Each structure stands twice: as C-alpha cells, then as structure tokens.
Amino acid sequence: MIVMKFGGTSVQDAAALRNASQIVMKNLTRRPLVVLSACAGVTTELLSMAEEAASGSATGSRLRISELRRRHGMIALELFGVSGSHDCIERFREDEEALKRIIDGIAVLGEIPPRILDQVASYGELWSTFLFAKLLGEHGVPAKWLDIRQVMTTDDNFSQASPLLDTVKEKAQEVVKPSAEGGLTVITQGYIGATRDGRTTTLGRGGSDYSAAILGAALGAEEIQIWTDVDGILTADPSIIEAARPIERMSFLEASELAYFGARVLHPSTILPAIKSNIPVRVLNSKKPASVGTLIQNNGTNGQNGVVKSITYKEGITVVTVQSTRMLLAHGFLARVFAIFERYKKSIDVVATSEVGISITVDRNDHIEAIASELQEFAEVRVEQGKAVVCVVGEGMKRTKGIAGRVFCTLGDADVNVELISHGGSDINLTFVIDESQIELAVEKLHSEFFQHSGSQHARRPSAEKHPSP
C-alpha cells in the first residue's frame, strides 16, 4: 500500500478536490491510504477566530464560523448538487452549532485552554476528509471515512502533541489494515490525534505531513507521497527565488535538514518515521501530477546536481550569547548552560563556541527572559532578536573543498554580514546566522552562485570547489 497526503491547496475547493480524487483513482491498484489537510486557510481561520473570541466577544467569531460552514457547504453543493449534498450540509450545520458553543465558552472564559484550541482546530481536517470520502464514493470507489483519533494516539502536549508510536502502530494495524486489505480506500485526517482518554490533540502547524509519515511507517507502506502545490522540493523557497528548480532526488538526511531549517514544503518531523522504516518519500505537485517531483530515499544522490542541493532559511531566530571569563578551562560550563535550556524544553538550533563564550540560536522566544536571567547568575548574557538562520544543504559538503569559501565570498560581495557559523557538525550542512532583513539578498546571491551560473555549480570560481575522490 501507499500513503497519499494532500496539503491544503490541493483540497482547497471543489476543483482541487476533484483533481485530487482523480489522482487517487489513478493509484487504486497501489491501495492508497489518503491523508488530507484542511482546505487551504481553514486551520488558520479556526485558530484566529478562537483567539478573537478569547478577547471577550463571540460575535465576530460566530460570524466567521458561519462563513466557514458556508464555504464547505458551497463545495458540497458544487460537487454533489442540491439533492446529493444533504448529509454534508447537515453535518456542517451540526459542527457549526458545536463550534459556536465552544466559542461562546471561550468568550466567557476570556482565554483558550490549549485542549479547547485543538478541538477547534480539528474541524478543518474533519470537513475536508468528509467531502473527499463522499466524492470518491460518488465515483464508485469503495471508500471509508476514518476518524484518525481512533488511531493517532498522542501525549497531552496540546498543539504540539507527540504520537505514541507503538500504540499508533498497533491501532493502525488493527483499524486501517483490514479495510485497506479488504479493498477499501481509507480517507483520513492529517494533523489531528487524541490522547488515550479521547481528548483531541494536534501535531503542530503543517503536521499532516508528519501524520502521513507516521501512518506510512505504522503500516509498512511502500511509499509516502506528499502532494503539494510545487514541483517537489526546490533548490530554494520559490516564494523568494523565482529561478528555484526542483531537485529530482535527495537523501533522507538532506530532506530532514531542509525541513528542519525552514523549507515549509515538509514538516520537520516527517522524515524520521520514513528513515526508521526505510520508506521512500515522494513530494509531488497535485497541479502537475505527471511531473516527477522529488524522490527522497536512503541513497538519494544521483550525481546530477553538484554537492549543494538546496538553500533554506528560518526567520524569527533569537541568538543568545553567553560569555564568561570563568569559562576559560572550566569544565561543566557548557553542561550548565545547556541544562538551563533543557529545563525550559527549548530546542537549540545552532551553536558556536569559543574559549570565553557560547552563542546559541533558538527559534521561539517563549521563556527566553527566564533563561537569560538564570544564565546571568554566572555569565554575561546578550539576547538578540530579528535574526535568521540560513542553511546550505548537500551531502558531502564537509568532504568537498571550496564550498565554504564560495558561500562566504558570495555573501561578502553582497555586503551581507555573517554573525555566527556552524559547519562540520554533519556532512550535509553549512549553517550561519545573518540579520533577518538580509535573508532575500543572501539566499538570492547564493542561489545564483550555486545554481544559476551557466548550468553548473562550479562556474563562478572554477578552481575553488574540488570534489572528493570517489
């Protein structure tokens, strides 16, 4: 079997749903499990109207819920006609009422308990999958709508819940497998799950990719397909680099590095379940189903591209610099610094150390003041916000001469100031920190240096980059 995950834009309206259903129908012999996101923008809208209600009044949010119900109702009408859409319309009305009751409660409370927020957010995926399962049924495909909360058991870290993988595997084998083997196409939700005692959770924004990978691994799928709105993973974010082009193949490690350092096309946790089960992941364009997309697998290099595969970036980075003359030759200093970040469950992205100090980047500002004040007990601390991490990704970089030289010459020529560098921690990335305002400039110049010079990665400084001998 295969897992086919469609993102928000791939199911955003009646035309997109029809198109996605055609893609699924062409793959029925591969026994697809279909995992869907909410229609584009719906999760954001649900979260934002809950926030609006928390400011004390439910009036605006109630109207926004009605609007969401109308949007889904219109899709149902377009797909199934007046007589065929009764069940959908009825379901959407019931959900509208349920959501309005939740929203009224939020307005009274004046705040949103995290578990309530997840409950609100879950409706987007429930609605899109409901429409899609019916659509496949209308085409005569034996299809089954599954509430994934029966399978995707998670911890209770609402909004960022972690699936309990052994339980998910057991339940997927018990609930999904028999249906798939019995010839049913199962349609289910990405992004959402439930605690052991049945409370709705979500896996974090963009989490449907992760759901697809977890289910693929749990079921031993032969392939996990991520259908999105671009031609696969590209050499850079196409929203800032027009000339970005698709990468045909890449390794699991390269893809996870890219996802972790900001390439929104894949949720950062997606690749891990695939690596563990060695299941290839394909990123494909639902608007151009015939194009090859990107194949991510264990040995992902085809020698077609140079060593550098892609350039990615993450905004909103904070750099914490901790300096202490006592650090000089003192053992235990780094452990003490990291222990403080650990206590606040802050994950660290990039680290650079010197004899008298350490710089650390984090990508969210929660707890940063508390962390800084604990660090101040034994060191000088500087916190700088508004930074960005840029990551040049490609397997073999550490063993290839000249890449760092080209990266930093390019940035120097463009007047981009590099504030912190991390290289060599792995063989596949060179990461550095710059000011957020220089992201576009930096990525554009690097992209041009590595991908747009006379079709070769070696054009600009031909003598600089010397590949390792095989």
Whichever of 52 and 257 has its CB closer to ligand ADP, that residue is 257
Whichever of 95 and 465 has its CB closer to ligand ASP, that residue is 95
Residue 37, interface with ligand ADP (CB under 6 A)? yes
Whichever of 151 and 265 has its CB closer to ligand ADP, that residue is 265
Which residue in 13, 51, 147, 229 binds ligand ADP (CB under 6 A)?
A: 229
Which stretch in 192-200, 237-245, 300-308, 435-443 sits in contact with ligand ADP by CB under 6 A?
237-245
How far is it, in rounded angstroms, from Cα 190 to Cα 149?
A: 10
Which residue in 45, 118, 223, 237 binds ligand ADP (CB under 6 A)?
A: 237
Residue 206, interface with Mg ion (CB under 5 A)? yes
Which stretch in 169-177, 202-210, 269-277, 367-375 sits in contact with Mg ion by CB under 5 A?
202-210
- Relative to beta strand 281-285, strand 310-323 is unpaired
What secondary structure does DSSP assign to 73-118, as a single string? HHHHHHHHHHHHTHHHHHHHHHHHHHHHHHHHHHHHHTS--HHHHH
Residue 121, interface with ligand ADP (CB under 6 A)? no
Whichever of 268 and 280 has its CB closer to ligand ADP, that residue is 268
Strand, coil or helix: what is 244?
coil
Tell me the C-alpha to C-alpha distance, in Å, between residue 371 and each of 24, 323, 342, 396. 49, 14, 10, 36
Whichever of 37 and 200 has its CB closer to ligand ASP, that residue is 37
Which residue in 144, 171, 205, 287 binds ligand ASP (CB under 6 A)?
A: 205
Which residue in 60, 105, 137, 238 binds ligand ADP (CB under 6 A)?
A: 238
Residue 7, interface with ligand ASP (CB under 6 A)? yes
Residue 37, interface with ligand ASP (CB under 6 A)? yes
Tell me the C-alpha to C-alpha distance, in Å, between residue 309 and each of 135, 247, 372, 450. 39, 7, 36, 9
Which residue in 11, 16, 23, 38 binds ligand ASP (CB under 6 A)?
A: 38
Sheet hosting strand 281-285, strand order edge to edge: 143-146, 185-189, 32-36, 2-6, 223-228, 281-285, 294-297, 249-251
Which residue in 83, 239, 304, 463 binds ligand ADP (CB under 6 A)?
A: 239
Q: How far apart are CB 349 and ligand ASP at their closest, in Å?
A: 21
Q: Which does 190 bind (CB under 5 to 8 A by kind): Mg ion, ligand ASP, ligand ADP, none?
A: ligand ASP
**Residues numbered 107-126 forming contacts with ligand ASP, rule: CB under 6 A:** 124
Q: Which does 239 bind (CB under 5 to 8 A by kind): Mg ion, ligand ASP, ligand ADP, none?
A: ligand ADP
Q: How far apart are CB 120 and ligand ADP at their closest, in Å?
A: 19
Whichever of 80 and 127 has its CB closer to ligand ADP, that residue is 127
Q: Which does 381 bind (CB under 5 to 8 A by kind): ligand ASP, Mg ion, ligand ADP, none?
A: none
Whichever of 206 and 262 has its CB closer to Mg ion, that residue is 206
Contact (CB, 8 A) for 161 and 193: yes
Cβ count near 435 (within 10 Å): 15
Which stretch in 2-10, 132-140, 300-308, 427-435 sits in contact with ligand ADP by CB under 6 A?
2-10
Cβ count near 222 (within 10 Å): 13
Of 297, 375, 308, 299, nearest to 337 (Cα)? Answer: 375
How far is it, in rounded angstroms, from Cα 166 to Cα 172?
A: 10
What secondary structure does DSSP assign to 315-355, as a single string? EEEEEEEEE-GGGTT-TTHHHHHHHHHHHTTPPEEEEEE-S
| Cβ contacts of 62 within 8 Å, gap of 6 or more | 100, 103, 104
| Cβ contacts of 369 within 8 Å, gap of 6 or more | none
How far is it, in rounded angstroms, from Cα 303 to Cα 326?
A: 48
Of 16, 62, 66, nearest to 38 (Cα)? Answer: 16
DSSP letter at 437 equals G
For ligand ASP, the binding residues (CB under 6 A) are 7-8, 37-38, 43, 124, 190-191, 205-208
Residues of the shown chain interacting with Mg ion in the complex, contacts defined by CB under 5 A: 7, 206
- Residues engaged in binding ligand ADP (CB under 6 A): 7-10, 37, 206, 228-230, 233-234, 236-239, 263-265, 310, 312
